[in-house]
Amino acid sequence: MENIVIIGNGIAGVTAARHIRKLSDKRIIIISAETDYFFSRTALMYVYMGHMKFEHIQPYENWFWEKNGIELVRGYVTQVDTPNKQVLVDGSRAFHYDKLIIATGSKPNKFGWPGQDLHGVQGLYSKQDLDLLEINAPNKEACKRAVIVGGGLIGIELAEMLRSRDIPVTFLVRETSFWNGVLPEGESQLINEHIREHHIDLQLATNLVEIIPDENGKVKAVTTDKGDTIACDMVGLTAGVTPNIDFLKASGIELGRGVKVNRYLETNVADVYAIGDCAEQHEAIGNRRPIEAVWYTGRMMGETVAQTICGNRIEYRPGHWFNSAKFLDIEYQTYGWVFGERGKKEFEQHFHWRDDKENLCVTIAFHKETKLFLGINTFGIRMRHEIFDRWLTEQRDVEYVMEHLADANFDPEFYADYEHKIVSKFNSDFGKSIKSKKKSIKRIFQIS
């Protein structure tokens, strides 16, 4: 019986394990230094906020693993010995593998800021980071102000977390507007305003210069390139993540920023695979980045590699791009590709609508000439994944999308609908006279 060893018990590794188990009776061993059981990393914030206890963010009950014959090992892999096909845990225990899957995820970026390793300075990625946050910022008395450095998804989550305990937050964002490397201008603007509605001191176009310690080596203040000194008890470093692969340096496995893999998720060493945040494609797939640190892609790679390992060698071929997030109270979903100013293609044209009262907006990207629908960003309005996936596959044009927008709405029942407002803005922007069709159950569920 083959030994499948998986390093990392995140969504990628666990999905791989589950699917290998569905397809075979191979021996499966998952090694993790972080926690005993798989948990949803994206839900760590809710534990700090008191929405859930840590046990609630574990998607499977503890008996699940033994019942399904998935062995869990708690320990840190210190060495991967590819010639002898074994991994060494904590420098002592050795595990033989026939197939090895590396799914070790990421670690927070640190860009060499002075003081970045002081007490009270931390990232937010792991369970250990969550525990550390309970020490660094348990309440507003112990943490009179927190400074967050880096305006991405984790930064805004951390800000929301700290605000849930009434801790004053200063949010330093390098860009001129929040996450505008990804989001188009209007959307980024909406989020800027929403961040400030939540009494977060958002400082745009501002960089961290130095983190200043007190006499005990604990953070006391930070200085910015605007010349300000901000007193604080905690600094959150949330300027993106990097693959967590330092332990592989001597293994002979080809590394770039991540573990280099081909489209089959194979590394340069036979029987060694890498999936999830830590895998780096030799060449980016479509508009995707070579390293995709996203929950959904980790899951897809896990499913794919399970097929390969169980004898059905198959390429990683992700379908249409989608993603989602929540910025404080505003939900965000995206289907297809909508780029911010930086990444925008020359043929890409945008239609933007924002509600005049509520925190809602939609941006639709389409091809300038052919009017082909390229993608949608939606804020505060839920959209149906299946519908956009279908429209992207069917290569619908933007006018078709406008006409049938009601079919895509996924808001709860009785919610106000905004299709008329959106379509009339589109008509006035582009001199069209599209009439939006009523929502049709028949079209949505494709019943004739």
Partner 1 sequence: MSTYDRSMALTGQPPVMLSRNQKIATLVGMFGLAVILLAAFNINFPNKSLWLTISLVSIIGGAVWYSWDAYMHKAPGIKNDGVWFKSLSNQGFWGWIAGIALTGFYIILYFYPEYLGLVAKGDNKGVIGLFDPLSKALSGNPASQWFVYGTLYTVAILAFGIKFLWKYRHNRYERIRTFSVMFFQTAFAFIIPELMARLNGSSLLNGGSLPYYDLKNMWPLNYYNFEGYRIKGFLSSGDIGFAMLIFGIATIFIISPILTYKFGKRWYCSWVCGCGGLAETAGDPFRHLSDKTVKAWNIERWVIHSVVVFVTLMTTAVIYSYLGNDTSKYWLTKSSFLIGVAVLLTTVFAWVMLFKREQFKKDAIYGAIGYFVIIIALIGFHFYSGDGNVFLFKSGTLRKSYSFLIGSIFSGVIGTGFYPVLGNRVWCRFGCPMAAILGFQQRLFSKFRITTNGGQCISCGNCSTYCEMGIDVRAYAQKGENIVRSSCVGCGICSAVCPRGVLKLENGPLKGRIDSNQVLLGNDVDLMKLVNQK
**112/286 with CB nearer partner 1:** 286
Least separation in angstroms between CB 386 and partner 1: 5
Least separation in angstroms between CB 397 and partner 1: 22
Least separation in angstroms between CB 52 and partner 1: 5
Tokens of 272: 């060694």
Least separation in angstroms between CB 24 and partner 1: 13
Q: Could you tell me if 408 and 392 are in contact, meaning their C-beta atoms sit under 8 angstroms apart?
A: no
Q: How buried is residue 338: exposed, middle or buried, by Cβ count under 10 Å (0-12/13-18/19+)?
A: buried
Contacts of 368 (CB under 8 A, 6+ apart): 347, 348, 349
CA atoms within 13 A on the CB side of 191: 30
Contacts of 231 (CB under 8 A, 6+ apart): 144, 145, 220, 221
**295/337 with CB nearer partner 1:** 295
Least separation in angstroms between CB 277 and partner 1: 14
CA distance 255 to 269: 11
**86/363 with CB nearer partner 1:** 363
Tokens of 234: 């905690």
CA distance 376 to 386: 13
Query: Which residues of this chain interact with partner 1, rule CB under 8 A?
Result: 11, 19, 40, 42-43, 46-59, 61, 131, 134-135, 138-141, 164-166, 197-198, 295-297, 299-300, 303-304, 307, 312, 314, 317-319, 322, 324-326, 328-329, 331, 333, 382-386, 389, 410-416, 441, 444-445, 447
Taking each helix axis from N to C end, the angle separating 11-23 and 295-309, rounded to the nearest 10 degrees, works out to 30
Least separation in angstroms between CB 324 and partner 1: 4
Least separation in angstroms between CB 104 and partner 1: 19
Contacts of 296 (CB under 8 A, 6+ apart): 322, 323
Least separation in angstroms between CB 115 and partner 1: 25
**35/223 with CB nearer partner 1:** 35
**1/63 with CB nearer partner 1:** 63
Strand (E) or helix (H) holding 237: strand 234-237
Q: How buried is residue 90: exposed, middle or buried, by Cβ count under 10 Å (0-12/13-18/19+)?
A: exposed
DSSP structural state of residue 42: G
**49/269 with CB nearer partner 1:** 49
Strand residue runs (E) in 66-207:
70-74, 77-81, 86-89, 93-96, 99-102, 106-108, 121-122, 146-149, 169-172, 201-203
**245/406 with CB nearer partner 1:** 406
**347/415 with CB nearer partner 1:** 415
CA distance 349 to 347: 6
**114/138 with CB nearer partner 1:** 138
CA distance 162 to 4: 40
Least separation in angstroms between CB 331 and partner 1: 5
